[in-house]
Amino acid sequence: MPLDQVLNRGAFDLDRVLELEPDFLDGHHDHHHNDHVTSFSLRTEKPLDPRKFLPWVQMITQRFGIDILRMKGILSFKDDNDRFVVQAVHMLLEGDHQRPWKR
C-alpha cells in the first residue's frame, strides 16, 4: 500500500474535535476508573523453551481471554537469535519473529 494512503490523512483533526467537544483540552474529562482492572508482568533472565511457552500462552488466552484486555511481550527463545514478539487482545493472539537481538 502506498504510504500516502496511510500517512497524513488527517484522521485526527484537533479543530474538528474542538468543534464537537469545546472542553477537550481542559483536562477535566468525565471518566471513571475500574478498580477491577489490574496488570502484572513476568520476567526471566533465561531464554524460554518455545515448546512449553507457546502452548501455555495459547491456553491462557483461550481460558482467560474474555478477561484479558491487552497482553504483549518481547521474548527470547532458547537457541533462537531473533526476538519473538507476542501480543493479544482478549482471545486474539499473534506472535512472530522480529529482528535479531542486539549483542
Q: Where are the domains of the chain?
A: 3-100
Pick the CATH number of 3-100 from 1.10.3470, 3.40.1360, 3.30.1220, 3.30.70: 3.30.1220
Report the predicted TM-score, pTM, of the whole model to 2 decimal places: 0.62
Note the residue count of the chain. Answer: 103
| Most distant pair of Cα atoms in the chain: their distance | 55
**Residue 96 and residue 85 in contact, taking contact as beta carbons nearer than 8 Å:** yes
> Phi first, then psi: what are they for 100, rounded to 5°?
-65, 155
- List per-residue pLDDT tens for the chain, 103 residues long: 777 776 766 667 788 878 888 877 887 666 677 777 788 888 999 999 999 999 999 999 999 888 888 999 999 999 999 999 999 998 899 999 999 998 7
Q: Calculate the dihedral angle through the C-alpha atoms of 59, 65, 66, 67, rounding to the nearest 10 degrees.
A: 110
